[in-house]
Amino acid sequence: MKHRTFFWFFLPTALAMLVFIAAPIVSVVTQSFFLPHEAVLIETENCGPFGCNTSITIDQEATAELWEEAPLGRFAGFDIYLDRGHLATAEIGQAWTTSESWSEFWSIVFNLPFYRALAFTLTYTFVCTPALIALGFAIAVAVNSLHRHLRGLMIFFSLLPMIVTPLVGSLILFWMIDARGVLGNFIQYLADDPDLSLKASTPLMWISLIVYGIWSSAPFAFVVFYAGLQTVPQDTLESSMIDGATRWQQIRYVTIPHLMPLVTFVALIQLMDNFRVFEPIIGFTAAAHATSLSWIIFNDLGGETRQLSAAATTSVLTILGVAILLSPVLIRTWRDFRGRPA
Amino acid sequence: MSSIAQRKPLGLRIGLNLFIVVWLIMAAFPFVWTVWGSFKVELDFFSIADWTNAIFGRNTEATYGTPFTGAGYFGAWVQEEFWRNAINTTIVCLFVVATSLTIGTLGAYALSRSGFKYVFWLLILALIFRAMPPITLVSGYLPVFFDWNVWGYLPTSIIVLVAINQPFTLWMLHSFFESIPKELDESAKVDGCTQFQAFRRVIIPVMWPGVITTGLFSFLLAYNDFAVTTMVLSESNRTMIPAINAFMGTTQTEGNVMFAVAAVVSATVPLFIMVLFFQRQIVSGLTAGAVKG
């Protein structure tokens, strides 16, 4: 295909991605260095028969003029990155000098909004991903041993938690684990504590969110591994059996190595998706106990005061996080590419 | 799998089947429970006194005379005008799927038929874009949308969703077009077709399985999106998922949780039907990326 033909074929999709993905990234990075202008205030003194009182009003014209002069706002450099809502270097420095023990230091750090969110996001990502891979693999092995007619039915029901809208899925689970819901009741009965509420306790909330994450993503791992199991070389399995491998050894030394590329694939996709965890926090109304980076951005953007600069800064930090997560994969791809004969 | 050597001992068989039953309950029970409960009153759905009320609907019977009631659905669809949101969702999904498939097919076809090195870099770039959480882009959209007065309208959200959809669509369709033999369109070109004619007359007739699979995932992305549509659409143009979230805020104070439950069940029905009819395509779509990648 000629370069010219390629260009015309690729133009529409390239335009869409340039205008709505690449350009916004540039805009987000720019915004993260600028603060909005402060409104110009005028103090006027009104004197009447009962004395004088001063009133402060916003000088709309002067404010508009400021925006006209510098449409991006006041240049703030890295100030927004370092403020209390983000990296909070000053607060951490202070905590470092004043706190007497490690636990005190960490408790101060994890009360800062950014680090609180980062702690949950990372815990969620790195607990959910291995757990859902393990569960997905177990389901795949179990379903693979079923009769042919039952497998389709199992796949149908297994797909549901993954296909359903994340917000809807989390609401469905949330209503069940509510203290008045069926699972919440059951847990109270098991713990023998009628006042137990998942909503009131931070560790329990984290656990429920992680359980939701595993529940909603294990089907994906299951389907991919199940497809992989269909291609396990039967000859190798048979020869391992002749060599006296037990059932477990067959899985350990034949099946798992065969599925390894798929594990990498699922891990990559799930790391990307779990890092953006957001909907379950809304669905579980868990913001008091657990926040994520995406949730902070959403929270800054919503409401009456749209704090665009703060949201942009968190966005840039999140993108950096994604880049760090992806870097091993990218480096490997780059090596493969360079090693390939041109 | 019928040889005696592979026959499993009884204990293992029981263990495996037990595990499958447990997973089946985990996967399906929440949906069954919520659908059943959506026809009850709130006191039954959240039954603090006796959990069997949720099954038999004693309070519902006391209120309405029957153990089932459509009050939640009436409240959501008629009183809170959920049908408007449903129409908005239909429009958004329809146009997102159509547009992103049109431009995605052209782009992915070009990627699969061009042997140049930049193809690799374009695919890597698409992968990076795919990894970007969509919410991080929103603060880039908002100031521009406000300036141009396009914030809040359905077409805006459609274009944004199409763009966010492109990286994934490109990857999926690219691997699909790779599996269509290049000889097909090359022979058409030998016979005097231009590249586009070859695409139109030779490739389009055989591409539908891959396009349908990709379309299903585009639909899912548009249908399931919460972060972008909440931020980009105004209150009167909301799609179903942001509307459900808004329900949670307003109805809980009024004690109408059942409206939200009914809306949630209504929003699940199209997905349920989709899995029912397109299970094979969804599975093949999920595994296509894995086997190729």
Cα dihedral B87, A170, A226, A267 in deg (nearest 10): 110
Q: What is the pLDDT of residues B217-256, one digit of tens each?
A: 999 999 999 999 999 999 889 999 999 998 887 766 666 7
Whether A304 shows a pLDDT value over 90: the answer reads no
Does the beta-carbon distance from A154 to B223 stay under 8 Å?
Answer: no
Assigned token pair, B69: 């009631």
Instruction: Give me the pLDDT at residue A342, please.
Output: 44
The shortest CB-CB distance from A298 to any of B111, B128, B227 is to: B227
pLDDT of residue B255: 67
Residue B164 has a pLDDT of 94
pLDDT number for residue A195: 79
- Residue A191, min C-alpha distance to chain B (Å): 16
The domain at A126-286+316-339 falls in which architecture? Orthogonal Bundle (1.10)
Lowest-confidence range among A53-67, A92-106, A205-219, B194-208?
Answer: A53-67
Phi-psi group of B181: left, alpha or beta (phi > 0 → left; psi -120 to 50 → alpha; rest → beta) = beta
Instruction: Determine contact: A251 vs chain B, CB below 8 A.
Output: no
* Chain A residues inside the 8 Å CB shell of B111: 10
Q: For A56-75, give the DSSP string.
A: EEE-HHHHHHHHHH-TT-EE
Average pLDDT, chain A: 88
CB pair distance less than 8 Å for B231 and A298? yes
Give percent above pLDDT 70 in chain A.
Answer: 98
CATH number of the B79-292 domain? 1.10.3720.10
Return the bridge partners of A55, or none: A44
pLDDT at B120: 87
- β-strands A51-58, A34-35 pairing: unpaired
CB contact A320 to B (< 8 Å): no
Query: Which residue among B113, B133, B289 sits closest to A294, beta carbon to beta carbon?
Result: B133
Average pLDDT over residues A35-42: 80
CB contact under 8 A, A297 and B135: yes
As a whole number, mean pLDDT of residues A209-227 equals: 94
Our CA dihedral for A163, B288, A156, A185, rounded to 10 degrees, sits at -40
What is the length of chain A? 342
Whether chain B has a CB inside 8 Å of the CB on A306: the answer is yes
Separation of alpha carbons B221 and A268, rounded Å? 19
Provide the CB-side half-sphere exposure for A180 (13 A, CA).
11
| Residues whose CB falls within 8 Å of the CB of residue B65, separated by 6 or more in sequence, listed in order | none
Residue B192 burial (CB count, 10 A): 8
Q: Cβ of A25 and B138 within 8 Å? A: no
> Which residue do the tokens 């146009």 mark?
B95
Query: ipTM, 2 decimals?
Result: 0.91
Residue A310, SS3? helix
Residues of B in Cβ contact (< 8 Å) with A259 = none
Mark yes or no for CB contact B139/A25 under 8 Å: no
Residue A227 distance to chain B (closest CA, Å): 7
C-alpha dihedral sign at A183, A184, A186, A191: positive
Contact B241 A167 (CB under 8 A): yes
Taking the C-alpha atoms of residue A54 and residue A52, their distance in angstroms, rounded to an integer, is 7
Predicted pLDDT at B175: 87
Q: What distance in Å separates the CA atoms of residue A81 and residue B69, rounded to the nearest whole number? A: 53
Asked if A246 reaches chain B (Cβ–Cβ under 8 Å), the answer is no
Provide mean pLDDT across the span A79-98: 87
CA dihedral B231, B236, B238, B244 (to 10 degrees): 110
pLDDT at site A26: 93
> Which residues of chain B fall short of a pLDDT of 50?
1, 292-293
What residue spans of chain A are helical by DSSP H?
Answer: 3-17, 23-31, 60-69, 79-82, 89-98, 102-109, 113-144, 148-163, 166-177, 182-191, 202-229, 234-242, 247-250, 256-275, 279-283, 293-301, 308-339
pLDDT band at residue A340, thresholds of 50, 70 and 90?
low
Give the pLDDT of residue B93: 96
Which residues of chain A are within 8 Å of residue B223 when distances are taken between CB atoms? 165
Which of A262, A308, A319 is nearest residue B132 as measured by Cβ atoms? Answer: A319
Residue in B23, B160, B261 nearest the CB of A175: B261
Q: What is the dihedral of CA B54, B57, B63, B64, to 10 degrees?
A: 130
- Pairwise CA distance, residues B244 & B250, whole Å: 10
Among the partner residues A156, A179, A300, nearest to B275 by beta-carbon distance = A156
Summarize the confidence of residues A227-249 as an average pLDDT: 89
pLDDT of res. B251: 66
Per-residue pLDDT, B4: 63
CA–CA dist B117, A88 (Å, integer): 43
Is-contact A225 A286, C-beta < 8 A?
no
Q: DSSP H helical segments within chain B, as ranges? A: 10-37, 42-45, 53-56, 58-64, 71-74, 82-113, 118-131, 135-147, 154-178, 182-190, 195-198, 208-224, 227-232, 240-254, 257-292
Q: Nearest CA to CA, how far is B61 from chain A (Å)?
A: 19
- Which residues face A42 on adjacent strands? A57
- Output the pLDDT for position B293: 39
Extents of the domains making up chain B = 4-75, 79-292
* Interface probe with A: pick from B139, B141, B223, most Cβ of A within 10 Å: B139
pLDDT the model gives residue A54 = 75
CA–CA distance, A215 with A199 (Å, rounded to integer): 19
CA dist., res. A1 & res. B112, Å (int): 10
Confirm or reject contact between A106 and chain B (CB < 8 A): no
Tell me the per-residue pLDDT of A39-88, one tens digit each, with 9 for 90 and over. Answer: 777 777 777 777 777 777 777 888 788 878 777 788 888 888 988 888 88
Nearest CA in chain B to A320: B132
Residue in chain B lying closest to A234 (CA): B1
Neighbour count for residue B114 (Cβ, 10 Å): 19
Residue of chain B whose alpha carbon sits nearest to that of A150: B20
Distance CA A35, CA B73 (A): 46
The answer, for A331 touching chain B at a CB cutoff of 8 Å, is no
Per-residue pLDDT tens digits for A155-169: 999 999 999 999 999
CA A287, CA B157: separation in Å to the nearest integer? 26
CA distances to B35, B114, B159, B245 from B263, in Å: 11, 47, 26, 10
CA distance, residue B218 to nearest chain A CA (Å): 12
Torsion, Cα A282 A288 A289 A290, to 10 degrees, reads 40
**Domain spans, chain A:** 126-286+316-339
